[in-house]
Amino acid sequence: MNALAFVTDDNAVNRKLARAFLQRLGWSIEEFSDAASMLARLESAQPSIILLDISMPGMSGTEACEQIRRNPALNAVRIIAYTAHAMTQDREQFLASGFDDVLIKPVSLAAMSQTMGMPGASGSRSA
pLDDT digits (tens, 9 = 90+) for 80-116: 999 887 777 888 899 999 999 999 888 888 888 888 7
Distance CA 17, CA 20 (A): 5
Three-state DSSP class for residue 18: helix
* b/e 60-81 (16+ beta carbons within 10 angstroms → b): bbbebbeebbeeeebeebbbbb
Helix ranges (H only) for the chain are 12-24, 35-41, 61-69, 88-96, 109-116
Domains of the chain: residue spans and CATH? 4-116 (3.40.50.2300)
pLDDT digits (tens, 9 = 90+) for 30-80: 999 999 999 999 999 999 999 999 999 999 999 999 999 999 999 999 999
Q: What is the pTM of this model?
A: 0.87
